[in-house]
Chains A and B, each alone.
Chain A
């Protein structure tokens, strides 16, 4: 039976994963979480609050851009921001994917796992 992936195992990968789910289109925080959850087949266990600090770091680095959702005014409740992958973010995502492939290939080879 597959084990859940959480905590330390995700450290260092969260930001690339966020860029990856934003590649499918702009989204607000909760939707990003839902996309991650769906992509992780229910085995990805995130502390959900930690998605926002990661999004803020990505925004600070110019890898994503964000703006308040105009439709927030039409519904009740807190406002929300929609995050969008920037060109710089797209480039970083490509690099992240290459790094990951290399990592899996090397570590997988050492561990004798199928890559």
Chain B
């Protein structure tokens, strides 16, 4: 066996090696690209060490123990790897990792629970945003003399919360469908359906925003026409972003799905 060719190693051998690499790399606060590079290089190293140790020890367990010992303690490696990451990259990565910890499915969380949690999160964020932005829009438009009724504003904020909460729910299910689909993500019907629904929500939300500052039917109809023209772009944008995220997931899957216990 060629010791440096990890694709030829049986999964039972490769898995503990990858787990050891992941133990060192996962806690490092750094950009995704940098962590991926660390994984690739350290996997290359540990499989080569394993190749040497397998030639030395006929017992696979002894070979593995010797490999892990030569590779070093993952916690020490994490500290050393972290020391090579610049301050700005660390800050940016910490922010991204914090957001991801909210968005990603947690351990033992079912698909439905995850979708509901995401929906509530999106609804909460959107209603807070709208509750802040709408009064500013009215002020900017000089409508403080005849502001729309409070019940209308509350209904609008509630609508946005519901619409974006629903979008998050649809989005998370589309993501799940994509993961089942594998590499041919563009042929996933759920993805396109979610794109169309997103465009509908964006259309209604846009009209709602116009309605909140002008009750003139002509304005509303004009806005509806403009938003309708934007719909194909919204659909393509949604599908494209989901596709990119899926590609990234496929690249990372072999690592992020490793259980480190």
Contacts and interface: CB of A to CB of B under 8 A. Distances in A.
B5 A52 contact: no
Given A47-B76, A77-B4, A52 B81 contact: yes
A54 B79 CA distance: 11
Contacts, number: 74
Contact of A49 (B40, B42, B47): B42
Residue with the greatest number of chain A CB neighbours at <10 A, chosen from B5, B47, B71, B84: B84
B101 interface: no
A49 B6 contact: no
Interface string B17-45: 00000001000000000000110111111
A6 B64 CA distance: 21
Interface string B68-84: 00111100110011011
Residue with the greatest number of chain B CB neighbours at <10 A, chosen from A28, A52, A54: A52
Contact of B71 (A29, A49, A78, A81): A49
B77 A29 contact: no
Nearest to A75: B5
Given A57-B83, A77-B6, A49 B44 contact: no
Interface in A28-42: 28-30, 33
A76 B5 contact: yes
B83 A49 contact: no
Contacts of A80: 40-41, 44
Nearest to B86: A60
Given A54-B80, A77-B6, A47 B73 contact: yes
A30 B48 contact: yes
B7 interface: yes
A68 to B, nearest CB: 9
Contact of B8 (A48, A52, A76): A76
Given A60-B84, A77-B7, A48 B47 contact: no
Nearest to B30: A56
B49 interface: yes
A26 to B, nearest CB: 15
A78 B81 contact: no
Contact of A77 (B24, B47, B83): B47
Given A53-B83, A53-B84, A48 B72 contact: yes
A50 B4 contact: no
A29 B37 CA distance: 13
Closest 4 CB pairs of A and B: A47-B72, A53-B80, A56-B84, A49-B72
Interface of A: 28-30, 33, 47-54, 56-57, 59-60, 75-81
Given A49-B46, A53-B81, 8 more contacts: A30-B4, A30-B48, A52-B38, A52-B41, A53-B84, A78-B6, A78-B47, A80-B44
